[in-house]
Structure 1
Amino acid sequence: MLIILNPAATTEQIESLNHTVRNMGFLPHVIAGTDRTAIAVVGDTKKLDESYITRLDGVDSTQPTSQPYKLVSRDVKPQTTVVDLGTARVGDGSLCVIAGPCSVETRKQVLATARHVKKCGAHALRGGAFKPRTSPYEFQGLREQALELLAEARAETGLPIVTEVKDTETLPLVARYADVLQIGARNMQNYSLLERVGDLRLPVMLKRGLSSTLKEWLMAAEYIVARGNNNVILCERGIRTFETETRNTLDLGIIPLLRERTHLPVIVDPSHGTGYASGVTPLARAAAAVGVDGVMVEVHPEPAKALSDGPQALTFSMFETMMRDMRRISGLMGQAI
């Protein structure tokens, strides 16, 4: 349920309402919007006496929320959330481009990639330090050494770092270096990890699970926001279908529905959504046309020698072409890059 506040409600009245809601056994979340301020009440609100709430000082009205995901719903906040990455923003009407290698492999590799994607206009650098892999025998990442190399690349280029956190044990270490904590598809329903990143205030990129529905995805985001971290970016990265010719099936059809259902910004990862490099740029163009807040792609100086996901990584020249195309599409859509 939403408690819609009177425009003249004072800070003291809002604090009193929060106290009252907590004493009734519910969790209040203040949502400040451009047109109104509301308190989202989380819990089994069927037991809440709405007539009593509407008589309290500072309250204008109450409004039920129709979705099981309360705090990430547009019912709660009509305006799209803007997530600040430091030198870039996601959700402000521009198109954010995040690019870099699947895995950090060497100092030369990550610095060369960071310099190139920066020169081409990327806004953030992605790179894996801890790599959860399907096989335990595949490259698992350079771990803290990779984080140190990413930090060096950030210091030189100014690009904020997006890197994956795979478990609660390594979260404190990753959080010391990262600007954005990526929750991978395999961890989308790792509720302990979701709660822990929710306790932090770092931006979180939540990738859609391999076989997850829209509702399951948004409920996972709810875990993070319910802990007080509103800086959540949703990333559509393709889902598992019966098709075997592509790594995944990029579900661009979900984007308009997400726009209707949630205020969280949405980006698309066409690298994992296809699994082959020649498909990345066409689907990045399509994502921009559908109206996303950003794209994230894998770029490598020598994809044939990559230690992970080489077939889907763009070469430097392919990334230049993608950026040129994205500027044309985003210009038609009224989005700046």
Structure 2
Amino acid sequence: MIVVMKVGTPEPEITRVSEELGSWGLTPEKIVGQTKVIIGLVGETASLNREQIQEVSPWIESVLRVEKPFKRASLEYRHGQASEVVIPTPNGDVAIGRDNPIAIVAGPCSVENEEMIVETAMRVKAAGAKFLRGGAYKPRTSPYAFQGHGESALGLLAAARDASGLGIITEVMDTADVEVISEYADVLQIGARNMQNFSLLKKVGNQPKPVLLKRGMSATIDEWLMAAEYILAAGNPNVILCERGIRTFDRAYARNVLDLSVLPVLKTLTHLPIMIDPSHGTGKSEYVPAMAKGAIAAGTDSLMIEVHPNPARALSDGPQSLTPDAFDALVKELAVFGKAVGRWEEAVPVLA
């Protein structure tokens, strides 16, 4: 349930209402909107009626039930107000959400060596990226494929961040690695294969760094949102959803089917920010530009694009990676689309 407080409700009254409702065995969560404060109630609310709660304070405007099974992730829980995730980076805070410029994440599938990851970081930053993505630990279908360099690659990502000032996004695959990855990463990524690894979801929910939750390869939207609910329920409100393509019967031409329809659908269901990954979504670099442009037109909050200085020699996912030159050209094209929808950050001129 959610309790909507009237505009101008004194802070002591909000505190008093929260404490009283907490004494009922509920968990109140304060949500500050643009004009109103909302108190989300988590717990056994089925036996409560709205009139009961309404009597707690004359400052309560309304009491509403959240009908969705994903409570905290639902748009209802925030009374129709979208949320944003603010991520500190060496270059300043970056906010990802519906009222912010589109944030671009770019970099290779996996971290191969220091020269490669630093070079890529500098190139994607120059083109306009806000975050560097790169895998230290890589889940692969074949046990004989390159699995990533592990913990040593985290130090290389740190070197790339020091050189470029970009925020770092990297995947965590095991609960045992959450703590060490949190020391290096600005955003922890849960990959498609781990979307329903509930122990891992709870673990990342118990730490403060933002979490990027990729959609499972065969996951429904409800399953995806329930996975986000695990993270939110564990106490971490900073979740970004990432669509990376779903598996269907036709794999002859593209690696996956990039489901851009999730953008309008999710905006009716959840307040969480949304990212689109056209690289994994198509599996072929030549299809990435069209899908990235389509994602902006459909309302994405962020894009994740794979970039490698030499895709032909990449240790993983070379066919879907753009060269730095191709990425630079693409960002210039994306700017046209981003400006058309009012979601593009103007470049700040560099003074001589």
- TM-score, normalising length: structure 2: 0.92
Counterpart secondary structure, 2:176: coil
Q: Counterparts of 2:8 and 2:290 in 1: how far apart (Å)?
A: 50
Aligned to 1:31: 31
Contact 1:203-1:232 within 8 A present in 2 as well = yes
What is the identity, as a one-letter code, of the residue corresponding to 2:105? I
The one of 325, 331, 338 equivalent to 1:330 is: 338
Provide structure 1 residue ranges, at least 5 long, that are not aligned to the other structure.
none
Q: Counterparts of 1:289 and 1:52 in 2: how far apart (Å)?
A: 45
Aligned to 1:282: 290
The one of 226, 237, 243 equivalent to 2:244 is: 237
Aligned to 1:310: 318
Contact 2:50-2:64 within 8 A present in 1 as well = no
Q: Counterparts of 2:336 and 2:131 in 1: how far apart (Å)?
A: 20
Aligned to 1:154: 161
Contact 1:104-1:127 within 8 A present in 2 as well = yes
Q: Percent identity?
A: 47
CA RMSD of aligned residues (A): 1.4
Q: Counterparts of 1:256 and 1:144 in 2: how far apart (Å)?
A: 38
The answer to whether the aligner puts 1:94 opposite 2:96 as a matched pair is: no
The answer to whether the aligner puts 1:63 opposite 2:64 as a matched pair is: yes
Between 183-192 and 53-62, report the one with greater CA deviation. 53-62
Q: Counterparts of 1:283 and 1:229 in 2: how far apart (Å)?
A: 31
Aligned to 2:135: 128
Q: Counterparts of 2:100 and 2:112 in 1: how far apart (Å)?
A: 34
Q: Describe the superposition over 1:52-93 as per-residue Cα deviations: whole angstroms up to 9, x where unpaired.
A: 211113433211122111112111222221211223221142
Contact 1:31-1:76 within 8 A present in 2 as well = no
Aligned to 1:20: 20
Contact 2:107-2:306 within 8 A present in 1 as well = yes
Q: Describe the superposition over 1:190-228 as per-residue Cα deviations: whole angstroms up to 9, x where unpaired.
A: 111111111112111111111111111111111111222
Aligned to 2:87: 85
The answer to whether the aligner puts 1:251 opposite 2:253 as a matched pair is: no
Between 297-306 and 13-22, report the one with greater CA deviation. 13-22
Q: Counterparts of 1:61 and 1:321 in 2: how far apart (Å)?
A: 51
Contact 1:5-1:38 within 8 A present in 2 as well = yes
Shift of 1:273: 0.1
Q: Counterparts of 1:291 and 1:50 in 2: how far apart (Å)?
A: 35
Q: Counterparts of 1:318 and 1:8 in 2: how far apart (Å)?
A: 52
Q: Counterparts of 1:24 and 1:206 in 2: how far apart (Å)?
A: 33
Give the alignment of 1:166-315 within 5 angstroms: 166-245=173-252, 246-315=254-323
Contact 2:175-2:199 within 8 A present in 1 as well = yes
Counterpart secondary structure, 2:141: coil
What is the identity, as a one-letter code, of the residue corresponding to 1:318? A
Q: Counterparts of 2:23 and 2:258 in 1: how far apart (Å)?
A: 45
Q: Counterparts of 1:60 and 1:334 in 2: how far apart (Å)?
A: 34
Counterpart secondary structure, 1:46: coil
Q: Counterparts of 1:35 and 1:257 in 2: how far apart (Å)?
A: 26
Between 177-186 and 65-74, report the one with greater CA deviation. 65-74
What is the identity, as a one-letter code, of the residue corresponding to 1:159? L
Q: Counterparts of 1:285 and 1:61 in 2: how far apart (Å)?
A: 41
Between 131-140 and 264-273, report the one with greater CA deviation. 131-140
Q: Describe the superposition over 1:272-331 as per-residue Cα deviations: whole angstroms up to 9, x where unpaired.
A: 000111111111111111111110011001111111111111111211121111011111
Counterpart secondary structure, 2:280: helix
What is the identity, as a one-letter code, of the residue corresponding to 2:96? V
Q: Describe the superposition over 1:151-181 as per-residue Cα deviations: whole angstroms up to 9, x where unpaired.
A: 1111111100000011111000000000001
Q: Counterparts of 1:100 and 1:319 in 2: how far apart (Å)?
A: 10
Shift of 1:8: 4.0
What is the identity, as a one-letter code, of the residue corresponding to 2:241? L
Aligned to 2:74: 73
Q: Counterparts of 1:192 and 1:24 in 2: how far apart (Å)?
A: 29
Size of the aligned set, in residue pairs, is 337
Q: Counterparts of 2:269 and 2:306 in 1: how far apart (Å)?
A: 29
Counterpart secondary structure, 2:77: coil
Q: Counterparts of 1:289 and 1:6 in 2: how far apart (Å)?
A: 36
Contact 1:277-1:312 within 8 A present in 2 as well = yes
What is the identity, as a one-letter code, of the residue corresponding to 2:307? V
